[in-house]
């Protein structure tokens, strides 16, 4: 096509997600050993499915108010009161991803800086840039903990926000209580908003994951969702809670961008919040122990305490993770290269949200590739 480009400059710097690229590749391979995608391998609980079905059959299929079902918002508020003794403004989002988009658009002016740890979830820098902000990467290698002094050194006059996610994706690391406390104090000192992505908060195996809400509730924006904990990834449901002025502007943008979250799914989420998921959490703890046991002595890795990921270092015989992934694909083995989550390409992400036999098969391929 000749003449001018119809594309905005903001999209030209964004490549295809490394995660989705591997996902699409997996769809083309016959019987791959796929440990790439972060999606629960257990079924949505039957009572949660039935709650959504009942809503559909009762013709609860139209719009809700922009902020979501009053019943669901009240249940969320009750949970936050019980957990933190916190009574923030709340609204229902299209997953945590939807909340992240709205937070960036509502809070960032062109040139505002956002501190994020490296490694980071794949979408963080792109969402910041789309909103006109500047991602500032704070190195957390090799233990993937926060190291608050590194964040403190990265603060400038343009810093507006700190974005943290614990348990982490791709690392599975749960941050230390004292480090989250230190970041909360840093946010207070420099008048920053601290945004906490807690999509994996229920999937922790060695104790709970600390939240900035505990230490600085007045400047915390909490984003949680139902996809990972209840296997509702395709329902696209989450919530945002935080300062009234921030939530008001996020909800205003939500009205024009999305209108509302899907009504039947909100009834499912309401049911989910009173559903016991301890058996599923225990099973993922067991899978964590399985994959760590199989990889011990084969590759270097930090033992994860949450989520369903391990982020090992590439065996020394490979120059980088991209080269390692190319070799893995020859064995029909799918994992995600570290460059999808980092400025480094030295590690790769394994998802152990998979059947035990697939985990064992994948770890055996890693053993073969590492020889």
Cα distance between residue 360 and residue 53, in whole Å: 36
Structure tokens at 46: 């039957």
Q: Answer whether residue 39 is part of any domain.
A: yes
For 279, phi and psi rounded to 5 degrees?
A: -65, -40
Q: What is the pLDDT of residues 225-237, one digit of tens each?
A: 999 999 999 999 9
Is 39 in contact with 47 (CB distance < 8 Å)? no
Is residue 123 domain-shared with residue 257, that is, in the same domain? yes
Out of 272, 290, 308, pick the residue that ends a domain: 272
pLDDT at 2 over 90: no
Q: Is residue 13 part of a domain?
A: yes
Helix 46-57 to helix 263-272 angle, to the nearest 10 degrees? 150
Residues 119, 171 contacting (CB under 8 angstroms): yes
Q: Does 113 reside within a domain?
A: yes
Clarify whether residues 244 and 124 are in a common domain.
yes
The phi-psi region of residue 5 (left if phi > 0; otherwise alpha if psi is between -120 and 50; otherwise beta) is beta
User: Do both 118 and 264 map to the same domain?
Assistant: yes
CA torsion 233→193→92→101, rounded to 10°?
Answer: -60
Is the sign of the CA dihedral 196, 200, 203, 205 positive or negative? negative
Per-residue pLDDT band at 25 (split at 50, 70, 90):
low
Please name the residues in contact with 250: beta carbons below 8 A apart, sequence gap of 6 or more.
91, 99, 102, 103, 106, 240
Q: Which two tokens stand for residue 76?
A: 């969320």
Q: Which of 22-31, 46-55, 254-263, 342-351 has the lowest mean pLDDT?
A: 22-31
Residues 69 and 205 in one domain: yes
pLDDT value at residue 30: 75
Among the candidates 253, 272, 291, a domain finishes at: 272
**2 part of a folded domain:** no
**CATH number of the domain bearing residue 123:** 3.40.640.10
Q: Does residue 55 belong to any structural domain of this protein?
A: no
27 and 93 part of one domain: no
Tens digits of per-residue pLDDT, 74-127? 999 999 999 999 999 999 999 999 999 999 999 999 999 999 999 999 999 999
**Residue 30, in any domain of the structure:** yes
Question: Quick one: 334 and 351 in the same domain?
Answer: yes
In a domain, 57, yes or no: no
- At 317, is the pLDDT very low, low, confident or very high (cuts 50, 70, 90)? very high
Co-location of 265 and 283 in the same domain: no
* Confidence grade of residue 23 (pLDDT, cut at 50, 70, 90): low
Residues 331, 184, single domain; the answer is: no
* Residue 45 Cα distances to 50, 231, 272, 287, angstroms: 9, 8, 8, 20
User: What backbone torsions phi and psi does residue 293 show, to the nearest 5 degrees?
Assistant: -65, -40
- Confidence check: pLDDT of 4 > 90: no
The full 3-state SS of 141-159, as one line of letters, equals: CCCCCCCHHHHHHHCCCCE
Q: Please tell me whether residues 164 and 308 are part of one structural domain.
A: no
CA dihedral sign, ordered 106, 111, 113, 118 = positive
Residue 6, pLDDT score: 86
Same domain, 222 and 119: yes
Query: What CATH number did the domain enclosing 296 receive?
Result: 3.90.1150.10
Alpha-helical (H) ranges within 243-350 are: 244-257, 263-272, 278-295, 321-330
Domain-embedded: residue 216 = yes
Domain edge (last residue) among 272, 305, 339: 272
Q: Shortest CA distance to 98 belongs to which of 66, 132, 135?
A: 66
Query: 151 is in which domain, residue-wise?
Result: 62-272
- Residue 37 confidence (pLDDT): 85
Q: What percent of the chain has pLDDT over 90?
A: 89
Claim to verify: residue 165 and residue 265 sit in the same structural domain:
yes
DSSP designation for 235: G
Total number of domains in the chain: 2
Nearest-angstrom CA–CA distance, 334 and 34:
5
Same domain, 67 and 40: no
Is the pTM here over 0.85, yes or no? yes
Cα of first residue to Cα of last residue in the chain, in angstroms, is: 50
């Amino acid at each position: 096509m000749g003449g001018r480009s119809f594309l905005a400059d903001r999209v030209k710097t964004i490549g295809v997600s490394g995660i989705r690229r591997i996902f699409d590749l997996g769809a083309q391979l016959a019987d791959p050993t796929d440990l790439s995608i972060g999606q629960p391998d257990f079924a949505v609980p039957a009572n949660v499915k039935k709650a959504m079905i009942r809503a559909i059959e009762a013709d609860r299929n139209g719009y809700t108010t922009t902020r979501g079902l009053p019943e669901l918002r009240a249940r969320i508020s009750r949970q936050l009161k019980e957990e933190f003794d916190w009574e923030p403004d709340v609204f229902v989002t299209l997953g945590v991803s939807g909340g992240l988009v709205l937070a960036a658009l509502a809070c960032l002016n062109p040139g505002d800086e956002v501190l994020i740890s490296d490694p980071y979830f794949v979408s963080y820098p792109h969402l910041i840039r789309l909103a006109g902000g500047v991602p500032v990467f704070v190195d957390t290698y090799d233990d993937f903990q926060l190291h608050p002094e590194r964040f403190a050194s990265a603060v400038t006059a343009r810093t507006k926000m700190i974005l943290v996610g614990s348990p982490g994706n791709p690392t599975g690391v749960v941050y230390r209580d004292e480090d989250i406390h230190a970041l909360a104090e840093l946010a207070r000192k420099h008048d920053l908003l601290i945004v906490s992505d807690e999509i994996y908060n229920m999937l922790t195996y060695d104790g709970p994951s600390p939240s900035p809400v505990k230490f600085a509730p007045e400047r915390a924006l909490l984003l949680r969702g139902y996809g990972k904990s209840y296997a509702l990834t395709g329902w696209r449901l989450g919530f945002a809670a935080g300062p009234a002025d921030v939530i008001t502007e996020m909800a205003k943008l939500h009205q024009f961008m999305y209108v509302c979250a899907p009504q039947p799914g909100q009834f499912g989420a309401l049911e989910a919040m009173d559903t016991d998921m301890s058996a599923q959490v225990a099973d993922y703890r067991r899978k964590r122990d399985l994959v760590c046991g199989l990889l011990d002595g084969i590759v270097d890795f930090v033992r994860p305490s949450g989520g369903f990921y391990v982020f090992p270092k590439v065996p020394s015989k490979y120059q980088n993770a991209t080269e390692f992934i190319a070799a893995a694909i020859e064995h029909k083995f799918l994992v995600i290269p570290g460059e999808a989550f980092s400025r480094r390409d030295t590690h790769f992400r394994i998802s152990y949200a998979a059947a035990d036999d697939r985990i064992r098969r994948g770890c055996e391929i890693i053993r073969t590739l590492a020889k």
